[in-house]
Structure 1
Amino acid sequence: MTVLRKMLLPLLAACALLLTSCSASIKDYAQTHPTLDIFTYFAGDTVAYGMVQDYSHKQTRRFTAKIHGDVVADTLTLHEDFVYDDGEKQTRVWRIRKLADGTYTGTAGDIIGTATGQSAGNAFNWKYVMDVKSGGSTYRLTFDDWIYQQDEQHLFNVTSLRKFGVEVARVTLFFEKK
């Protein structure tokens, strides 16, 4: 290994660590409005329009989703039906609980373990792990969803999909309350 390589490798590793550790905090949104209450927003029918971008920001897929939410006590159940531009259909059913401390946990059939969430102001941050199929392979990815309420009818969602801390894809969604 050359001297230059010996010097560059630690520097690149430090830069990668610094870049992956920098992110917004849910507390940054505490004073923003309107205040997002996911139980209120997702009760009833919602439609979403979205796209997936790869690591180079090239759009790789588009989709729509019809979402129906039911709230019973401390649990929001979301029935999500996705249709992708290539004709693939997917269904996911989330069961999201609001805990006494104001945080959220959730499960769905294709989610690994339990999702966790926090809300402040107009923002909601939702984190979970899921196996994603692509090109005949399956990849275990970490999802970091940031949902922002624009107004009473509209939400924006940006999701970073990461493998080993490195963003490999991004999903952007626009929700409309029906």
Structure 2
Amino acid sequence: MTVLHSFLRKGFLGLMAASVLLLTSCSADIKDYAQTQPRLDIFSYFNGDSVAYGMVQDYTNKQTRRFTAKIRGDVVGDTLTLHEDFVYNDGEKQTRVWHIRKLADGTYTGTAGDIIGTATGKSAGNAFNWNYVMDVKSGGSTYRLTFDDWIYQQDEQHLFNATSLKKFGVEVARVTLFFEKK
């Protein structure tokens, strides 16, 4: 019985590992959006004032937090500086200041005080994909998570943003945002 139990356990773990690998390796490609309109130019959209409304959902899709953010963007040369002021439904306030550069090859890099290393981004058609790592505090602990932001322009005034937060390649939370240009 011990040999059978060991075989089944290893088989189950192998199946789970293969499933996680398969699910985490499937992702949209920014090139899929090359022909979509309206064309999203993050420097143009975020230059000036905008507001965002968002929520955080855990791995079970339960909404765990809601927030609003006032955003002010300033473009100088090849750099967009975004000042983001967040207010959460539990009263917590956060400020993040992004410095986003557009590189000669059309890709983007960015830094902010609470971001680990450098964020990277690509744009095509109405979509922008932004990737970065951040330490997130939750329940008295801090977790280093990978963020995969997908921002889509709906029209001249509105953007939608869906973000997957992952730990060891497994999604642990989602953030959904709606932006409105003022």
- Any stretches of 5+ residues in structure 1 without a counterpart? none
| Residue 176 of structure 1: how far off its partner (Å) | 0.1
Please, which of 73, 76, 85 is the counterpart of residue 69 of structure 1? 73
Please, which of 37, 40, 43 is the counterpart of residue 44 of structure 2? 40
Task: Provide the secondary structure at the position in 2 that maps to 1:167.
Answer: strand
Structure 1 residue ranges, 4+ long, deviating more than 4 angstroms after superposition: none
Please give the per-residue CA displacement for 1:95-154, whole angstroms capped at 9, x wherever unaligned. 000000000000000000000000000000000000000000000000000000000000
Are 1:138 and 2:142 counterparts?
yes
- Residue 57 of structure 1 corresponds to 61
TM score, norm. by length of structure 1: 0.99
Please, which of 3, 6, 9 is the counterpart of residue 10 of structure 2? 6
Please, which of 17, 20, 24 is the counterpart of residue 21 of structure 2? 17
Q: How many residues align?
A: 178
Identity of aligned residues (%): 86
What is the 5 A alignment of 1:144-159?
144-159=148-163
| Residue 42 of structure 1: how far off its partner (Å) | 0.1
What is the 5 A alignment of 1:65-144?
65-144=69-148
| Residue 6 of structure 1: how far off its partner (Å) | 2.3
- Which of the pair has more CA radius of gyration? 2
Taking the aligned partners of 2:28 and 2:73, their CA distance within structure 1 comes to: 28
Taking the aligned partners of 2:12 and 2:138, their CA distance within structure 1 comes to: 33
Taking the aligned partners of 2:10 and 2:132, their CA distance within structure 1 comes to: 36
- Residue 175 of structure 1 corresponds to 179
CA RMSD, 1 decimal: 0.7
